[in-house]
């Protein structure tokens, strides 16, 4: 399969000599895990990546990258790349023998994850950085469309109760976590009867997948289908991936950053919560619902990461079978909104211990 990729890239480079792509010069990245086999190859033009080839060696992995290829096409049709690259431009897809190869243009700039915190989140630069990424997200939502819906019993079942059932099947919840979720979503129940916008989402909108450079913000790795979901999930994921501690010069892990951003009283944390209130207001979301949406986002993130770990990729469509707890107890994952360790979701445990964050300050 890798030999086939080399031939495809060589053919493309010969047909587009102006790009200066060298088919002999590639960086190989193994994206395999215990449930899927795949790889990513970056091809260069000079010192900069020019082409990205994604290779799937199994039907499951092929389904993932083929879905991404379709999503990129839909985003192109919606005009996301109309004036500049905001998502990768797709170049071709080839399927053979249960495997799949896709090729796309590399995005300019550098992943935010690779940039020093002080270079993008200092007191002086943080407002511009947060503003650029959240503005990108708002532009994405505007182009893909949103639908205002009253959260009736059926939508509540799909968006809230099914997620809670999946969480209970996958994780060991403490009494405090049970009380938190029961109090928010079963006894009240929060969000039921509210009118909220349903928006398309990326699903893994973290600093590892957000590029920034002179041309602005761009986003890659679109492996989940574009489905209308309850709002703000992507922004909660992004803000939890910033890796900032009590000060903008202190770099920490995702979980510590989550606590710092949503409960901290430092300038960046206050700016982030203020920006979230502003975006919520523009979308017609009452500020008092932000805490409920954050808790639900943590639940969804834990379920999504469990799906990825178990290879049960279903594009967000919940099935009857969930991950066996014996598997989850072997997982140790520190992802934005989802630090999973021996059957525990630490983000949810933090909210149960600290209380739902106050978005009014």
pLDDT of res. 319? 37
Let me know whether 162 and 266 are in one domain: yes
Least confident of 20-24, 231-235, 245-249, 326-330: 326-330
* CATH number of the domain within which 24 lies: 3.30.200.20
Compute the C-alpha angle 344/350/352, nearest 5°: 95
Residue 324 pLDDT exceeds 60: no
Tell me, yes or no, whether 360 lies in a domain. no
Tell me, yes or no, whether 361 lies in a domain. no
Tell me, yes or no, whether 25 lies in a domain. yes
**Residue 218 tokens, joined:** 């761009």
Beta-carbon-side half-sphere exposure of residue 121 (alpha carbons within 13 Å):
29
Q: Tell me how many domains the chain contains.
A: 2
pLDDT digits (tens, 9 = 90+) for 122-163: 888 999 999 999 999 999 999 999 999 999 999 999 999 999
Let me know whether 202 and 317 are in one domain: yes
End position of a domain, from candidates 60, 78, 105? 105
CA-based nearest residue to 308, from 111, 50, 35, 96 = 35
d(CA 69, CA 73): 6
pLDDT digits (tens, 9 = 90+) for 32-48: 554 457 889 999 998 88
Let me know whether 80 and 116 are in one domain: no
Tell me, yes or no, whether 52 lies in a domain. yes
Let me know whether 322 and 344 are in one domain: yes
| SS3 at position 247 | coil
The answer to whether the CB of 270 falls within 8 A of the CB of 353 is no
Average pLDDT over residues 331-360: 88
Give the model's confidence band at 119: pLDDT under 50 very low, under 70 low, under 90 confident, else very high: confident
Residue 322 pLDDT exceeds 60: no
Tell me, yes or no, whether 122 lies in a domain. yes
pLDDT of res. 197? 97
Let me know whether 143 and 65 are in one domain: no
d(CA 293, CA 290): 5
Average pLDDT over residues 10-29: 86
Give the model's confidence band at 167: pLDDT under 50 very low, under 70 low, under 90 confident, else very high: very high
Tell me, yes or no, whether 359 lies in a domain. no
pLDDT digits (tens, 9 = 90+) for 169-211: 889 899 999 999 999 998 888 899 999 999 999 999 999 999 9
Average pLDDT over residues 64-70: 94
Let me know whether 144 and 92 are in one domain: no
Question: DSSP characters for 91-137?
Answer: EEEEEETTEEEEEEEPPSSEEGGGS-HHHHSSTTTHHHHHHHHHHHH
Give the model's confidence band at 315: pLDDT under 50 very low, under 70 low, under 90 confident, else very high: very low
Answer with the residue of higher pLDDT: 324 or 348.
Answer: 348
Let me know whether 89 and 230 are in one domain: no
Residue-range definition of the domain harbouring residue 17: 2-105
Tell me, yes or no, whether 348 lies in a domain. yes
- The CA-atom distances, in angstroms, between 199 and each of 72, 76, 224 are 17, 17, 14
End position of a domain, from candidates 61, 90, 105? 105
Answer with the residue of higher pLDDT: 177 or 19.
Answer: 177
Tell me, yes or no, whether 326 lies in a domain. yes
d(CA 244, CA 46): 34
Residue 49, Cα to own-chain centre: how many angstroms? Answer: 22
End position of a domain, from candidates 84, 105, 126? 105
pLDDT digits (tens, 9 = 90+) for 259-272: 999 999 989 999 99
Let me know whether 56 and 198 are in one domain: no
pLDDT of res. 250? 63
d(CA 333, CA 300): 15
Let me know whether 56 and 119 are in one domain: no
Answer with the residue of higher pLDDT: 17 or 312.
Answer: 17
Output the average pLDDT for the chain.
Answer: 87
Let me know whether 130 and 274 are in one domain: yes
Let me know whether 100 and 117 are in one domain: no
pLDDT digits (tens, 9 = 90+) for 96-114: 777 899 999 999 999 999 9
Least confident of 134-148, 158-172, 240-254, 294-308: 240-254
Pairing of strands 332-335, 26-30: unpaired
Let me know whether 118 and 22 are in one domain: no
CA-based nearest residue to 219, from 199, 239, 234 = 234
Residue 320 pLDDT exceeds 50: no
Rg, C-alpha atoms of the chain = 21
Q: Give me the percent of the chain exceeding a pLDDT of 70.
A: 88
Residue 327 pLDDT exceeds 80: no
Query: Under 8 Å CB-to-CB from 61, ≥6 apart: which residues?
Result: 36, 37, 38, 99, 100
Q: Which residue has the tokens 């792509």?
A: 21
Strands of 90-96's sheet in order across:
26-30, 38-45, 48-56, 99-105, 90-96
Average pLDDT over residues 320-328: 43
């Amino acid at each position: 399969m890798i030999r086939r990729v080399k031939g495809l890239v060589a053919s493309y480079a010969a047909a587009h000599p102006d790009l200066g792509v060298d088919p002999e010069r590639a960086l190989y990245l193994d994206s395999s895990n215990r449930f899927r086999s795949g790889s990513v190859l970056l091809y260069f033009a000079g010192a900069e990546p020019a082409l990205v080839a994604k290779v799937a060696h199994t039907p499951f992995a092929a389904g993932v990258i083929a879905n991404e290829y379709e999503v990129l096409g839909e985003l192109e049709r919606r005009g996301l790349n109309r004036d500049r690259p905001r998502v990768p431009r797709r170049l071709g897809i080839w399927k053979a023998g249960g495997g799949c190869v896709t090729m796309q243009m590399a995005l300019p700039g550098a992943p935010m994850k690779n940039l020093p915190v002080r270079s993008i989140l200092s007191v002086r630069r943080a407002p511009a950085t947060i503003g650029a990424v959240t503005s990108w997200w708002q532009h994405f939502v505007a182009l893909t469309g949103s639908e205002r819906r009253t959260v009736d019993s059926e939508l509540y079942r799909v968006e809230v109760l099914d997620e809670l059932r999946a969480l209970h099947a996958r994780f060991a919840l403490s009494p405090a976590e049970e009380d938190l979720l029961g109090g928010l979503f079963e006894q009240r129940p929060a969000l039921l009867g509210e009118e909220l916008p349903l928006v398309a989402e990326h699903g893994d909108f973290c600093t590892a997948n957000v590029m920034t450079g002179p041309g602005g913000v761009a986003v890659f790795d679109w492996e989940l289908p574009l489905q209308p979901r309850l709002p703000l999930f992507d922004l909660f994921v992004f803000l939890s991936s910033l890796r900032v501690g009590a000060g903008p010069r202190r770099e920490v892990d995702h979980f510590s950053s989550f606590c710092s951003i949503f409960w901290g009283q430092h300038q960046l944390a206050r700016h982030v919560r203020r920006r979230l209130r502003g975006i919520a207001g523009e979308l017609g979301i009452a500020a008092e619902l932000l805490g409920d949406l954050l808790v639900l986002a943590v639940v969804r993130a834990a379920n999504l990461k469990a799906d990825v770990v178990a290879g049960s990729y279903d594009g967000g469509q919940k099935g009857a079978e969930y991950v066996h707890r014996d598997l989850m107890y072997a997982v140790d994952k520190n992802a934005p909104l989802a630090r999973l360790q021996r059957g525990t979701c630490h983000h949810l445990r933090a909210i149960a211990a600290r209380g739902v964050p106050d978005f009014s300050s």
